[in-house]
Amino acid sequence: MKKNFRLITMAYLILLSATLGAGLFAGIVVAPVTFHTEIWLGATVLSHYQEGLIMTQNFAKLSYLVDLTLIAIFLYEGYKYKKFERDTTTQVATFFVIATGLLFGHYYMPDILDMQLAGETMTQSDAFINTHKGSEINFKIFSLALLVLIVRNMQKACK
């Protein structure tokens, strides 16, 4: 049983790390390239609004991975909690990952998609700008909490 749980822990850590990597890649690499297509194409082909539509689809697809990861975190950390193998750092990180992950996929993404469907003018409004900024801050908190959860679980696995 212990050997099986070690395999589960390794798979869990790989999933958490892949999710963190995908999120960081989307924010650090994909977003700057997507929002500056004129640099790569030599001319302005897409408007900022059109670039935003493309970027939103990247994050919408990322939200599926985030949801899968949230389910895995809930099950794995819930099991560890029931076994009394818990610590405050892991519990706090788990709370923040689940809360911000749910906000990302089920609050910010639907709002951003709805505002984009309302047209380009809506995406220039204060409501959209504030929602977008909130989603960026939320995802940064998600990423940091996910990193803490990965490191803490790695520390526990190496004991």
Domain boundaries defined on the chain: 2-157
Its pTM stands at 0.92
Q: What is the mean pLDDT of the chain?
A: 94
Supply the pLDDT for residue 58: 95
H or E element in which residue 66 lies = helix 48-82
* Mean of pLDDT values over 16-28: 97
Instruction: Dihedral sign for Cα 48, 53, 58, 60, please.
Output: positive
DSSP state of 138: H
* Six token digits for residue 55: 């970027």
Contact 77, 94 (CB under 8 A): yes
Interval 74-117: pLDDT, tens:
999 999 999 998 899 999 999 999 999 999 999 999 999 999 99
Interval 105-152: pLDDT, tens:
999 999 999 999 999 999 999 999 999 999 999 999 999 999 999 999
